[in-house]
């Protein structure tokens, strides 16, 4: 990591609130690098909370009067002001490359976090990891662009529910069967219910099968005695 924005993105990736990092002016930093980290080629945060920054590398015009050679008064105040300014610069840095799609996802995530879509969806969303949240927000954005789609729902189930298969009943077009090899538990139930509410039209009826697959004539793997769910 060489730049301030890389620290911000790494913290976001690891789920570390940026406010937990303390940025400080580093008088001994390299003139050719913005960050002063324990290792020169360090690519990750290893528990550091205090980050040294060469404030003159890109922000000389901002900090030149705070750390001039004759400036020795109010060290605590200058350190606090430096931390606040570098936090603002880090956030601005990391957002400059944000695409329109990323901006929309941020708005959707903000709505979910505020409970706009209901407490159950809010609860499930907070339990997802970063990659799972990205998958869900991408799918939801596609729904806004093309309308509700069974294909998007199936894609979301496969991506966010482990060991899952989705069946669409040809004899009853409004019936969806979902199988997952996972044990039935509240977390999985809430996740599937959340995806159903977000991505599936209300006309569909959903049946969920856990662990034991329902028997399908002609497919031997689903016809084991004592391992067949009733349908």
Residue 47, pLDDT score: 65
Residue 189, pLDDT score: 92
Q: What is the dihedral of CA 93, 99, 104, 105, to 10 degrees?
A: -70
Residue 223, pLDDT score: 46
CB neighbour class for 34 (10 Å; exposed up to 12, middle 13-18, buried from 19): buried
**Cα separation, 116 vs 219, whole angstroms:** 44
Secondary element (H or E) of residue 76? helix 75-95
Q: Provide block-wise average pLDDT over 10 residues at a time, the chain (231 residues).
A: 78 82 84 71 67 88 86 90 93 73 84 89 91 90 83 92 86 88 90 92 88 58 48 45
Which tokens go with 154? Answer: 């199936």
Task: Tell the residue number behind the tokens 């959340």, with chain if given.
Answer: 194
Residue 155, pLDDT score: 92
Chain centroid to CA 50 = 24
29 Cβ partners below 8 Å, 6+ apart?
A: 35, 36, 52, 53, 54
**Cα separation, 10 vs 148, whole angstroms:** 34
Q: How far is CA 41 from CA 1, 35, 45, in A?
A: 7, 11, 12
Where helices occur in 147-226 by DSSP H, the ranges are 150-160, 186-199
**Cα separation, 82 vs 51, whole angstroms:** 12
**Cα separation, 159 vs 124, whole angstroms:** 15
**Cα separation, 157 vs 167, whole angstroms:** 11
């Amino acid at each position: 990591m060489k730049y301030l924005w890389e620290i911000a993105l790494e913290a976001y990736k690891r789920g570390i609130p940026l406010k937990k990092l303390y940025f400080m002016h580093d008088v001994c930093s390299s003139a050719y690098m913005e960050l002063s980290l324990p290792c020169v080629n360090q690519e990750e945060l290893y528990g550091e909370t205090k980050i040294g920054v060469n404030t003159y590398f890109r922000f000389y015009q901002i900090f030149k009067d705070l750390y001039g050679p004759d400036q020795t008064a109010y060290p605590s105040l200058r350190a606090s002001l430096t931390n606040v300014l570098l936090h603002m610069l880090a956030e601005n840095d990391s957002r400059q490359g944000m695409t329109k799609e990323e901006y929309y996802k941020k708005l959707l995530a903000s709505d979910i976090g505020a409970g706009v879509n209901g407490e159950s969806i809010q609860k499930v969303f907070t339990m997802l990891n970063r990659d799972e949240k990205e998958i869900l927000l991408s799918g939801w954005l596609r729904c806004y662009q093309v309308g509700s789609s069974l294909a998007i729902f199936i894609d979301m189930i496969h991506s966010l529910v482990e060991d899952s298969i989705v069946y669409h009943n040809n004899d009853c077009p409004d019936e969806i069967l979902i199988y997952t090899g996972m044990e039935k538990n509240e977390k999985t139930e809430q996740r599937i219910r959340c995806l159903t509410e977000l991505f599936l039209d209300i006309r569909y009826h959903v049946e969920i099968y856990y662990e034991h697959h329902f028997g399908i004539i002609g497919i031997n793997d689903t016809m084991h005695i004592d391992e067949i769910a009733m349908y």
